Amino acid sequence: MLFVRALGWLGAVSFVRALGWLVSVWFVRALGRLGAVLLVSGVALAGAAGPADAHAGGLTATDSRGRVVTVTPAVPGLDVVAIEDGARLRLRNGTTGPVTVVAGGGSATPAVVAPGDELTWIDERATPDGRAVPAGEVVPWTVPLDANGTSVLVTGELVGEQGPAPALWWAAAALTGVAVFLLARRLRRADLLLAAAGLVAAAASIGHVAGSTMAVESAPPAGTFLSAAGINLLAWPLLIGGAVTALRGRAAGVLAVCAGAALTAVFVLPDVTSFHRAVLPFAGPAVLERLLVVLALGLGAGVAVAGAGVLRGLAHQAAEQGRP
Amino acid sequence: MTTSVERTSTAEIAALSFTARERWVLLVASAWLVIGLQLDAYAHATTPELETFWTPWHGVLYSGIAASGFTLLWIMRSRLPGVPTYRSLLALPNALRIPLAGMAFLLVGGGVDTLWHNVFGIERDMEIFVSPSHEFIILGMVLVAMGPALMLATGPSPRLGLGGAFLVGISTLFAVLPVHIYSLHASSIGFRHLGSGADPVPIFSPDAQLIHGYVFSTILLLLPFIIIGRRWPLPIGLPSILVAIIAVLMHLMFDSQDAWWPALTVAAAAVVIELVLRVVTPLVRLSANAGWIVFGLVAPPAMWGAVLLVGKLETGSTGFNIHMVTGLLTLTALTGAATVLVARSVQHLPE
């Protein structure tokens, strides 16, 4: 553990020094301390148990929404509900005997829930993930239980919902990227444009991750947020720190913004499924989630591409003024 | 037993050189990254229901990515002009440009991998080894891990000291290990070593696959030494240690429930072959190229012959008949010689 902590500290030192060149001194010092704390505590915490599913709770965009319809026969104290739009089932055993989820629902089954306990699991018989359900159609499902010797059947349904028009959302993302690129070619202070666009991309990315985290009921929010953020934990400091530095007139900040923007565009790619599917793992209107993805993807890609010309122009200006 | 192909002037070498601190920090960071990825892959492979974020493996993996990324930024910092451009990034020395490209492959591969899983589901078994995003991730690991050795190669020193040998050895180990792991389906140091006993052997069969495994493993085990040998005289023990560690790690990861004789035979054979060559080479007057070709011809069949022999002693049969055994050993000898000829003939592109 001491060795791991030492490695974490070493990584943190590299983090601080690299960023020191990219962003202003006060920002670096603050971020350096934060980075050191994050890295060391992150490595330390990694050894402790505290389950949180990877990739924002392991939820994905789907075509349908699931719900429990009936539990037959009704057993006093036995409660089964669908959570996270039907992605998972939650069983509360308030009876005096064990309740068994019968095998057949994937790696989580069979499972035995002791009296007074609770189980949250993904059951392949009930989850909408990976199931194609046309809009307006209802697909029934059943999950068998054994409640202390009594056979119980949980029945539910997946209700297909109308998906978006993918072409429109893809076009919006493409137009956003192209707009940044064209504006950067026409504006005299394109570095400021890239800094501003980078900040908006960072805000969109943070909003998207936060909304995805809040949609998860089955895991603690802190770990879920971190797992959903992933490499964005590197991209956001680059975007924000780089933008601050660029706004202060230092060209190195623009390069940091471009690097962060490229990472943001790449790491929002898994969520372009929101352009194609109806039910999104997001705590808010689906249209807002799609807008956030459009901004993160379009602005991220646009800034990364436009950065080449903008930095070339800044270097040319510096050369004309006799600066290295 | 070396012929350097470096054509760089002393002044250029000075400009391209990296400090020992930069090399060692990148070595630690890249080793951290590769170990994290391998631990995570191993944990997921052996514990299918492992779907939690707060695992030690994720901790090592994510912190390793951060450490490698920011180490590369730190090394890049002093080598960029006041107003950095994309062109100035592309103009960085190869020893830095290659690991940076590796980091890009790794990050893009990671993003695309998640998208792939969301759209097409999670790959299983052989699908894992042909997934495009996984290939990007492996390529990224390899390129990042070879950074420290490349950085040392830009220096002027004609020989590797103890520290240099250690650095190059570790860097090479972490660069080639992911490729050995990712080519498990075509490897003779994974979980298959002997034939099935089928006679005759069907053309498309596990036995035929194992023959290709011997060929591929021969190339993969030889290539690092040939490339290192183009730049420096090979330090004593480096080849056998690298082969032994890779063989033992592969067995540990994929075949630890079975007998250890295949991995231990490969390790022992590597030591004996190097010892014999070190003793015999000074007694025979050969040019460097001829010496390497002889090495390529002799070492592979000696090693795989030892594996087949011990296999016969341990299990009673090699699982192959005389046609297959002799043909296999001849094929590995020709593969070794061809690998030497190709790897030592590659020259710098004209500027």
- The tokens of B186 are what? 């075509």
| Among B53, B70, B108, beta carbon nearest to A11 | B70
A191: left (phi over 0), alpha (psi -120 to 50) or beta: alpha
Q: How many CA atoms lie within 13 A of A75 on its CB side?
A: 26
Q: Do B84 and A255 touch (CB under 8 A)?
A: yes
- The answer to whether the CB of A89 falls within 8 A of the CB of A170 is no
> To 10 degrees, what angle do helices A2-22 and B56-77 make?
40
Q: Do B70 and A18 touch (CB under 8 A)?
A: yes
Q: What percent of chain B has pLDDT over 70?
A: 90
How far is A74 from chain B, CA to nearest CA, in Å?
Answer: 31
What local confidence, expressed as pLDDT, does residue A50 receive?
Answer: 28
Q: How many CB atoms lie within 10 A of CB B315?
A: 14
Distance (Å, rounded) from C-alpha A15 to C-alpha B64?
11
Q: How confident is the model over B302-324, as pLDDT tens digits?
A: 999 999 999 999 999 999 999 99
Q: How many CA atoms lie within 13 A of A50 on its CB side?
A: 16
| Among A14, A270, A311, beta carbon nearest to B29 | A14
| Among A11, A46, A108, beta carbon nearest to B58 | A46
Quick one: how far is CA A43 from the chain centroid?
A: 21
What local confidence, expressed as pLDDT, does residue A38 receive?
Answer: 34
Q: Do B53 and A52 touch (CB under 8 A)?
A: yes
Q: How confident is the model over A126-185, as pLDDT tens digits?
A: 999 888 899 999 999 999 999 989 999 999 999 999 999 999 999 999 999 999 999 999
Q: Do A223 and B54 touch (CB under 8 A)?
A: yes
| Among B48, B52, B107, beta carbon nearest to A51 | B52
What local confidence, expressed as pLDDT, does residue A324 receive?
Answer: 59
Q: How many CB atoms lie within 10 A of CB B158?
A: 11
Q: How confident is the model at residue A323 (pLDDT cuts 50, 70, 90)?
A: low
| Among B76, B84, B111, beta carbon nearest to A267 | B111
Q: Do B54 and A50 touch (CB under 8 A)?
A: yes
- The answer to whether the CB of B54 falls within 8 A of the CB of A50 is yes
Q: Do B55 and A10 touch (CB under 8 A)?
A: no
- The answer to whether the CB of B18 falls within 8 A of the CB of B136 is no
Q: Do A312 and B85 touch (CB under 8 A)?
A: yes
Q: Which residue has the higher pLDDT, B139 or B41?
A: B139
Q: Give the DSSP H or E segment for B126.
A: helix B126-129
Distance (Å, rounded) from C-alpha A173 to C-alpha B154?
43
User: How many angstroms separate the most distant Cα atoms in chain B?
Assistant: 69
Type of residue numbered B1:
M
Q: How confident is the model over A67-95, as pLDDT tens digits?
A: 999 999 999 999 999 999 999 999 999 99
Q: How confident is the model over B147-198, as pLDDT tens digits?
A: 999 999 998 888 998 999 999 999 999 999 999 988 989 999 988 899 999 9
Task: Provide mean pLDDT across the span A237-255.
Answer: 90
A107: left (phi over 0), alpha (psi -120 to 50) or beta: alpha
What local confidence, expressed as pLDDT, does residue A224 receive?
Answer: 83
What local confidence, expressed as pLDDT, does residue B12 receive?
Answer: 52
Distance (Å, rounded) from C-alpha A115 to C-alpha A92?
9
A103 Cβ neighbours under 8 A, 6+ residues apart: A109, A110
What local confidence, expressed as pLDDT, does residue A48 receive?
Answer: 31
Chain B nearest-CA residue for A38: B63
How far is A259 from chain B, CA to nearest CA, in Å?
Answer: 10
Q: Do A315 and B112 touch (CB under 8 A)?
A: no
Q: What share of chain B is helix, strand, coil (3-state, %, to 5)?
A: 75, 0, 25
How far is B166 from chain A, CA to nearest CA, in Å?
Answer: 19
How far is B22 from chain A, CA to nearest CA, in Å?
Answer: 10
Report the candidate in B334, B233, B333, B249 with the shortest Cα–Cα distance to residue B288.
B233
- Cα–Cα distances (Å) from A19 to A44, A257, A259, B66, B76, in that order, read 23, 12, 12, 12, 11
Distance (Å, rounded) from C-alpha B283 to C-alpha B238?
21
- The tokens of A76 are what? 């006093």
Partners of residue A10 in chain B, C-beta under 8 Å: 25, 28-29, 67
Q: How many CB atoms lie within 10 A of CB A222?
A: 14
- The tokens of A188 are what? 């005299």
What local confidence, expressed as pLDDT, does residue A55 receive?
Answer: 44
Q: Do A46 and B48 touch (CB under 8 A)?
A: no
Partners of residue B72 in chain A, C-beta under 8 Å: 18
**DSSP 8-state secondary structure symbol assigned to residue A85:** G
- Cα–Cα distances (Å) from B234 to B18, B153, B270, in that order, read 21, 13, 14
Q: Do B59 and A269 touch (CB under 8 A)?
A: no
What local confidence, expressed as pLDDT, does residue B9 receive?
Answer: 52
**What backbone torsions phi and psi does residue B37 show, to the nearest 5 degrees?**
-65, -40
Task: Provide mean pLDDT across the span B129-154.
Answer: 92
Q: Suggest the residue from A225, A266, A316 to mutate for an interface test with chain B (most B CBs closer than 10 A).
A: A266
B251 Cβ neighbours under 8 A, 6+ residues apart: B189, B260, B262, B263
Quick one: how far is CA B74 from the chain centroid?
A: 26
Distance (Å, rounded) from C-alpha A199 to C-alpha B321?
68
Q: How confident is the model at residue A30 (pLDDT cuts 50, 70, 90)?
A: very low
Partners of residue A231 in chain B, C-beta under 8 Å: 65, 107, 110-111
| Among B52, B73, B87, beta carbon nearest to A52 | B52
What local confidence, expressed as pLDDT, does residue A9 receive?
Answer: 42
Q: How confident is the model over B60-119, as pLDDT tens digits?
A: 877 888 889 889 988 988 888 888 889 898 889 999 999 999 999 988 888 888 888 878
Distance (Å, rounded) from C-alpha B146 to C-alpha B102?
9
Note the pTM of the prediction, 2 decimals.
0.79
Residue B33 has pLDDT above 70, yes or no: yes
Q: What percent of chain A has pLDDT over 90?
A: 65
How far is B328 from chain A, CA to nearest CA, in Å?
Answer: 42
Work out the mean pLDDT of chain B and round it to a whole number.
Answer: 87
Q: How confident is the model over B211-221, as pLDDT tens digits?
A: 999 999 999 99
